[in-house]
């Protein structure tokens, strides 16, 4: 595959990921419980402005990988895309087994923390049809 074709394939793949996220449940408020079913993919969404150097990172301890599995990490810029414009960080997970876990995160610039820590409480249940 030529370099331009490879670049196009990567671009189309990235666009597809962002579009897929629109169909997945999105959770933005860490004060609200996140309830999903086994097999469901979901997104934790938080505002971010990477031009400040601060980006969202998941903290230790990591979420229980026996309950949820990381399935993607995307950033979508606000429109119009101007210098200094923010956007949203989309952290995608797949629910793999019944149980409960926590996703704790904070903004960091390098080693420097930049704000409050937040935590999403995740509950994964059996599918309603089974």
Whether the CB-CB separation of 55 and 114 falls below 8 Å is answered with: no
Question: Which of 47-56, 91-100, 120-129 comes out lowest in average pLDDT?
Answer: 47-56
pTM metric for this prediction: 0.78
Kindly write down the DSSP assignment for every residue of 61-105, as one continuous string.
SPP-TTTEEEEEEEEEE-SS--TT--EEEEEEEEE-SSEEEEEEE
**104: nearest Cα among 51, 63, 53:** 63
Residue that wins the pLDDT comparison between 26 and 22: 26
pLDDT at residue 74 tops 60: yes
**25: nearest Cα among 98, 126, 122:** 122
Residue that wins the pLDDT comparison between 115 and 107: 107
- Domains of the chain by start residue, with CATH: 3-125 (2.60.40.2020)
pLDDT tens per residue across span 56-72: 999 999 999 999 999 99
**What is the chain's mean pLDDT, rounded?**
83
């Amino acid at each position: 595959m030529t370099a331009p074709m490879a670049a196009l394939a990567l671009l189309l793949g990235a666009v597809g990921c962002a579009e897929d996220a629109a169909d997945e449940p999105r959770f933005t408020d860490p004060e609200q419980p996140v309830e999903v079913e086994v097999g469901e993919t979901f997104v934790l969404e938080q505002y971010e402005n990477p031009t400040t150097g601060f980006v969202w990172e998941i903290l230790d301890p990591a979420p229980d990988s026996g309950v949820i599995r990381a399935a993607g990490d995307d950033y979508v810029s606000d429109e119009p895309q101007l210098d200094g414009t923010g956007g949203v960080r989309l952290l995608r997970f797949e629910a793999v087994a019944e149980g409960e876990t926590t996703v704790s995160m904070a903004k960091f610039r390098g080693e420097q923390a930049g704000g409050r820590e937040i935590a999403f409480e995740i509950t994964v249940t059996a599918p309603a049809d089974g």
